[in-house]
Amino acid sequence: MMLPLQAAGELNISFKPLGAAIVFLMMASFLAIGYLFKVADTEGMWVAGRGIGYVENGMAIAANWMSAASYLGLAGLIALSGFYGLAFVVGWTTGYFVLLIFLAAQMRRFGKYTAPDFVGDRFNSSTARAIAAFTTLLIAYVYSVGQASGMGLVGQYVFGLDFVPMVIVMMAITVGYLALSGMLGATKGMAVQYVILIVAFLVGVFAVGWFHQGMFLPQIQYGALISDLSTQFSEPFVNAPFYVWVATAFSLVFGTCGLPHVLVRFYTVQNERTARWSTVSGLFFIMLLYWSAPAMAALGVDLFAAVNNISPDTVFAAADAGGMSGAEGDVIVVLAAQLAELPQWLVGFVAAGAMAAAIATTAGLFITASSAVAHDIYTELINPDATQRQQILLGRATIVAMGAIVTLTALDPPALIGELVALAFSLAALVLFPMFFLGLWWENTNRQGALAGMTTGLTIWILAVVNDLIMPFSEVYGEFVPAIGAALPGTPLVFAVTIIVSLATTEPPEKTKKMVRQCHSPKPMGQQQTAEDVVSTDGGQTPADD
């Protein structure tokens, strides 16, 4: 059982009244928002009534995106892995440019409830819908374990309790908030959560930079520390070879474009124009944190070495040799604030921001998981006559069940927060992104091609995870198809398989082709209209402008 911070002498594991009060008030406000915006129908439960504006949706995208892996794990990865950690910065931001150009508006015009909904209707296949729903559940599970672990670590620091009860308590509160609120309440909560987490992170960075080094703008001035830090921190490809760096960045770029809880944000807005501007505003809000994370990592490493009176090289040694442990790296943002001797209330506020980040992402993940079960599996495949009440009850039951499974796994997580999250990105890049891209941009992609491609991607990912984390069976496979970077060799293969099989088999129906063309039409659509609605009424003959 991992009780990481108990063994970490650097962190002050004790009850902090001010920090606890801040976290308590924040959690209470989330529950209040969930109650005020509780939903009674599936439209509000899954897509927030399709009435969210681009600024609010951009903040929700950023909060949804900047999980514990971003708030805690990104700085931790850079602190422990140096230059390799920048692959995560590059990958997790570049993906939004691909989303903006190729997917955001087109996905909104297609106009469904969920990612599996798109796959099932675009490829006219219940089996493809089932595979997409299973992949959505798997992504939500793997991704959420990192969030629950982050909640436990921060809760342990703030409340001074053991890691295990903190994971259980924080996840119980999160599950209650989500089961009550649905997507509408979760979106309203995410906007508030974004404000909390970004203010907390930026205040922490500026305060640590000022108190430790007298920096006015640490995001730029931290470069002066590079020569004083270990070559393990700054020298390229020391902690990971070039291939692994590129493979990781590639998986994160295209995994971003395949994450169901990200893509569903485009279904919550009024139209395709709002979808595009949501991406732009979301990227801006994300930039504020990602620009600052390397600075916090550098300051944290420098502080860790100074406080412990060790050389920067020793920081990167094994924990039992005096180096920074994985647990300390995972909470480097909070640890740096403490080592800089910031006021206790400020350290507590920084910790509260981490909690807000974890809860916001867990919200998006659990809502997509619940919709995959209640809408895509139960309603679409098992009981087409299911009432809205039945769907909402099953969705809430799924949130509770998912919360229990994630909590049990998070009690002894198999990897660092950022590494766990990266596995979910690799899966999304292998299985879902090729279907979204080809489904929207090549009208001849058919059911047989989609099934062959998705099966190939899922097989590649499962073998990579088993080989890396569970039961190694091939050094060669592990070298060229690492679990985190499996998309580099795998995604092009999935594209090739999907295209070849589609060309060798029957073309999709003409109605499906017209739906694809409608996704690229310049003609405005109604707020509740889908591409299928337009095709059914006027044939969808408007020429494309993309």
pLDDT tens per residue across span 506-536: 999 998 898 888 888 777 766 566 667 677 7
Q: Choose between 451 and 325: higher pLDDT.
A: 451
Note whether residue 430 is domain-resident: no
Cα–Cα distances (Å) from 321 to 78, 303, 313, 314, 366, in that order, read: 20, 18, 11, 8, 40
Note whether residue 43 is domain-resident: no
pLDDT recorded at residue 44:
47
For the chain, the domain total comes to 1
User: Counting every residue, how long is the chain?
Assistant: 546
pLDDT recorded at residue 10:
56
- Find the mean pLDDT for residues 65-91: 77
Note whether residue 498 is domain-resident: no
Q: Choose between 13 and 212: higher pLDDT.
A: 212
pLDDT recorded at residue 462:
92
Rounded (10°) CA dihedral 250, 219, 240, 427: -30
- Find the mean pLDDT for residues 202-220: 88
Location of structure tokens 């514990």:
68
Cβ count near 454 (within 10 Å): 27
Rounded distance between C-alpha atoms, residue 155 and residue 417, angstroms: 15
Rounded distance between C-alpha atoms, residue 262 and residue 360, angstroms: 12
For residue 365, which of 326, 405, 415 has the smallest C-alpha distance?
Answer: 405
Q: Which of 150-164, 299-313, 438-452, 524-538 is least confident? A: 524-538
Burial of 504 (0-12, 13-18, 19+ CB in 10 A): exposed
Q: Which of 86-90, 283-287, 370-374, 415-419 is least confident? A: 415-419
Q: Choose between 383 and 13: higher pLDDT.
A: 383
b/e sequence 372-401, b meaning 16+ C-beta within 10 Å: bbbbbbbbbbeeeebeeeebbebbbebbee
Q: Choose between 113 and 169: higher pLDDT.
A: 169
pLDDT recorded at residue 1:
36
Note whether residue 355 is domain-resident: yes
Rounded distance between C-alpha atoms, residue 360 and residue 356, angstroms: 6
Rounded distance between C-alpha atoms, residue 135 and residue 455, angstroms: 11
Burial of 189 (0-12, 13-18, 19+ CB in 10 A): buried
Rounded distance between C-alpha atoms, residue 394 and residue 378, angstroms: 9
* The pLDDT of residue 9 is above 70: no
Q: How confident is the model at residue 206 (pLDDT cuts 50, 70, 90)?
A: very high
pLDDT recorded at residue 47:
46
Rounded distance between C-alpha atoms, residue 401 and residue 54, angstroms: 32
Q: Which of 120-124, 132-136, 315-319, 481-485 is least confident? A: 315-319
Where on the phi/psi map is residue 49: left (φ > 0), alpha (ψ -120 to 50), or beta?
left
- Find the mean pLDDT for residues 84-105: 83
For residue 290, which of 26, 58, 54, 69 has the smallest C-alpha distance?
Answer: 69
Task: Write out the two tokens for 92.
Answer: 């997790």
pLDDT digits 0-9 by tens, 487-511: 999 999 999 999 999 999 999 999 8
Q: By residue range, what is the domain housing residue 208?
A: 49-415
Strand extents, DSSP E, 199-329: none
Burial of 479 (0-12, 13-18, 19+ CB in 10 A): exposed
pLDDT recorded at residue 493:
97
pLDDT recorded at residue 439:
92
Residues 110, 118 contacting (CB under 8 angstroms): yes
Rounded distance between C-alpha atoms, residue 170 and residue 151, angstroms: 6
Q: How confident is the model at residue 457 (pLDDT cuts 50, 70, 90)?
A: very high
Please, what is the Cα angle at 124 between 119 and 126, to 5 degrees? 75
DSSP alpha helices (H): ranges in 411-486?
417-431, 433-441, 447-465, 475-480
pLDDT recorded at residue 4:
46
pLDDT recorded at residue 6:
40
- Find the mean pLDDT for residues 105-130: 84
Task: Write out the two tokens for 483.
Answer: 């679990």
Q: How confident is the model at residue 424 (pLDDT cuts 50, 70, 90)?
A: confident
Q: How confident is the model at residue 433 (pLDDT cuts 50, 70, 90)?
A: very high
Listed ranges 25-39, 175-189, 422-436, 519-533; the one with the highest mean pLDDT: 422-436
Please, what is the Cα angle at 178 between 177 and 181, to 5 degrees? 85
Which 3 state secondary structure label does DSSP give 269?
strand
pLDDT digits 0-9 by tens, 269-294: 666 777 778 788 888 888 888 888 88
> Phi, psi at residue 41, to the nearest 5°?
-140, 170
Task: Write out the two tokens for 496.
Answer: 């090739």
Task: Write out the two tokens for 263.
Answer: 């893509």
Instruction: Report the half-sphere exposure of 366 (CA within 13 A, side-chain side).
Output: 38
pLDDT recorded at residue 451:
96
pLDDT recorded at residue 54:
66
Instruction: Report the half-sphere exposure of 74 (CA within 13 A, side-chain side).
Output: 30
* The pLDDT of residue 221 is above 80: yes
Note whether residue 524 is domain-resident: no
pLDDT digits 0-9 by tens, 345-354: 888 888 888 8
Residues 281, 205 contacting (CB under 8 angstroms): no
Note whether residue 476 is domain-resident: no
Share of the chain above pLDDT 70, in %: 82
pLDDT recorded at residue 391:
81
Q: What CATH number has the domain bearing residue 381? A: 1.20.1730.10
Q: How confident is the model at residue 441 (pLDDT cuts 50, 70, 90)?
A: very high
- Find the mean pLDDT for residues 320-342: 77
Residues 168, 21 contacting (CB under 8 angstroms): no
* The pLDDT of residue 296 is above 70: yes
b/e sequence 319-342, b meaning 16+ C-beta within 10 Å: eeeebbbbbbbbbbbbbbbbbbeb
Note whether residue 57 is domain-resident: yes
- Find the mean pLDDT for residues 453-481: 90
Note whether residue 106 is domain-resident: yes
Q: Choose between 91 and 457: higher pLDDT.
A: 457
